[in-house]
Structure 1
Amino acid sequence: MDASAATSALSALTVWEFGALALAAGVVGFSKTAVSGANTISLAVFAAVLPARASTGVLLPILIAGDVLAVLTYRRHAHWPTLWRLFPAVAAGVVLGTVFLMFADDAMMRTSIGAILLLMAAVTMWRRRSATAGPPADGEGAAARAPARVAAPSYGVLGGFTTMVANAGGPVMSMYLLSAGFKKLSFLGTSAWFFLIVNTSKVPFSVGLGLIDGPSLLLDATLVLFVIPGALIGKACVNRVNQRLFEQLVIGATVLGGLQLLLR
């Protein structure tokens, strides 16, 4: 879709369509401070209301706003050795995703990302069920395990690719952190810093591809207001969710997001 067609689609939103986008923006805030991976639901809503390519440009600044709120909330809980281990592979994935966007149509984007999300969820559930040892006491011990180190490049490339193509890197990152045994706060703090850095670095690529422009930013200026209450609700809820339920919610949100992309 060219820039003029995308602009026309953005300006023709109905009240109900805007309401759906506002609710999805709230889910972004909730996912960033409570259940990482739940924003795949937001991804599906944005792709349903807007053209798939245009939706990625509109959603990115909203995700960054959520990332800022998440960092402010969990900044002291990040595990930086894990982040440094992931960043080189993520950069390679972002470059691959940029090349993919130059050639892929909307249908190919949805099918590819949906399949990757379901694969990541299946691999993570298999690894957790087949593990013979219980989870470590904290995120730092988990991140130091040899399997996590070996998995980092593959998860990093997939995370970079999916986040560039459809802002869908959250579930891939969630699957990696869950497979490494991270607890809630370490999980959320590491994820918050990871996506603030990665999503901000994607902005020049998105502008260059024409995914972010004046009309998309104007819509973002309104939708970003709905991220704040979602983040506050997430912060209030996260301490009431036990670790097992937290992991089940993350995996469930990932599967749901993947199915929505494949079946749409």
Structure 2
Amino acid sequence: MPVLDVSQWAVVLLSLFLVGFSKTGVSGAGTVAVALFAIVLPAKQSTGVLLPLLLVGDVVAVAVYRSHADWPKLIRLFPWVAGGVVVGALVVRWVDDTQMKRLIGGILLTILVVHLWNRRRDPEASLAHHRPVAALAGAFAGFATMAANAAGPIMALYLLAAGLPVLGFLGTSAWFFLILNAFKVPFSVALGLITPATLAFGALVFPAVLAGAAAGRVVVRRIDRKRFEQVTVALTVLAAVRLLV
């Protein structure tokens, strides 16, 4: 169980509130939460502590938005995501925290540039509709989530580019991350990232995730798609810069 001072507890609880908020509200907040969590704990250790708590938020999100998923897009992604998770698990064994943060930050910025360029195209000609782009997005998401729980902005940019409405975005994301995070659990246990101590810590702090999820439901009812996209992109930029610096 991590030993934290008052300020570190405040960062942890804020991070977990943002985790819940990202699951039912603005998804970009989740990557900010990952970055904040890594301030308190070493990056690799933080991924094991955070994964069970992400699953708590995923279950809540699926319960709320389960009927809004775009399953054809999910099915297209999953084989590539699985491959990315396997590669990410191998890489985690060989790189240190600093290298991992910079690698994920670089991936995020690259995808963000592609997304901003893609916005200028006809929605029907969006790159997100092409199978090779879906394959790359899935592989990067699988790798990033295994390495640093950082698949959120990759999937957010992909689903925004695909033109999904807010509820479709949230429903598709909810099922995607519930299945993905459950798939990651055996790898995280094998790598020693999830332990009885991390589970005990999660049992203590998971109410913060539920509080964030409740707040996200309130906010998402009051936000249109354009503002939703602007906030998601802005939070992605902040997270990428935080990982690179």
TM-score by length of 1: 0.90
Structure 2 residue 243 is matched with structure 1 residue 232: no
Query: Which amino acid in structure 1 is aligned with residue 91 of structure 2?
Result: F
Query: Over alpha carbons, which structure has the higher Rg?
Result: 1
RMSD (Å), alpha carbons: 1.5
Question: Which residue matches 1:32?
Answer: 23
1:97 counterpart (88, 93, 117): 88
Question: Which residue matches 1:163?
Answer: 145
TM-score by length of 2: 0.96
Task: Specify the SS of the correspondent of 2:119.
Answer: helix
Distance in 1 (CA, whole Å) between partners of 2:110 and 2:29 is: 17
Distance in 2 (CA, whole Å) between partners of 1:67 and 1:203 is: 14
Distance in 1 (CA, whole Å) between partners of 2:234 and 2:106 is: 15
Q: CA deviation at 1:52?
A: 1.1
Query: Which amino acid in structure 1 is aligned with residue 208 of structure 2?
Result: F
2:38 counterpart (43, 47, 70): 47
Question: Which residue matches 2:54?
Answer: 63
Cα distance change, pair 146–208 in 1 and its aligned pair in 2 (3 A): closer
Answer whether contact 2:32 2:239 (CA < 8 A) is retained: yes
Q: CA deviation at 1:37?
A: 2.2
Structure 2 residue 207 is matched with structure 1 residue 211: no
Q: CA deviation at 1:146?
A: 7.5
Distance in 1 (CA, whole Å) between partners of 2:205 and 2:143 is: 25
Structure 2 residue 203 is matched with structure 1 residue 221: yes
Counterparts of 1:148-159 in structure 2 under 5 Å?
148-159=130-141
Distance in 2 (CA, whole Å) between partners of 1:210 and 1:146 is: 36
For residues 32-52 of structure 1, what are the alpha-carbon distances to aligned partners after superposition, in whole Å with 9 as ceiling and x for unaligned?
A: 111112111111111100011
Answer whether contact 2:153 2:236 (CA < 8 A) is retained: yes
Q: CA deviation at 1:168?
A: 0.3
Query: Which amino acid in structure 2 is aligned with residue 79 of structure 1?
Result: D
Structure 2 residue 59 is matched with structure 1 residue 77: no
Question: Which residue matches 2:5?
Answer: 14
Question: Which residue matches 1:4?
Answer: none
For residues 154-209 of structure 1, what are the alpha-carbon distances to aligned partners after superposition, in whole Å with 9 as ceiling and x for unaligned?
A: 00000000000000001111111011111100000000000000001100100100
Instruction: Structure 2: state its 5+ residue gaps.
Output: none
Cα distance change, pair 146–27 in 1 and its aligned pair in 2 (3 A): closer
Query: Which amino acid in structure 1 is aligned with residue 4 of structure 2?
Result: L
Question: Which residue matches 1:119?
Answer: 110
Answer whether contact 1:148 1:180 (CA < 8 A) is retained: no
Answer whether contact 1:148 1:179 (CA < 8 A) is retained: no
- The count of aligned residue pairs is 245
Q: Which one is further off, 208-217 or 187-196?
A: 208-217
Instruction: Structure 1: state its 5+ residue gaps.
Output: 1-6, 137-141
Task: Specify the SS of the correspondent of 1:241.
Answer: coil
Task: Specify the SS of the correspondent of 1:104.
Answer: coil
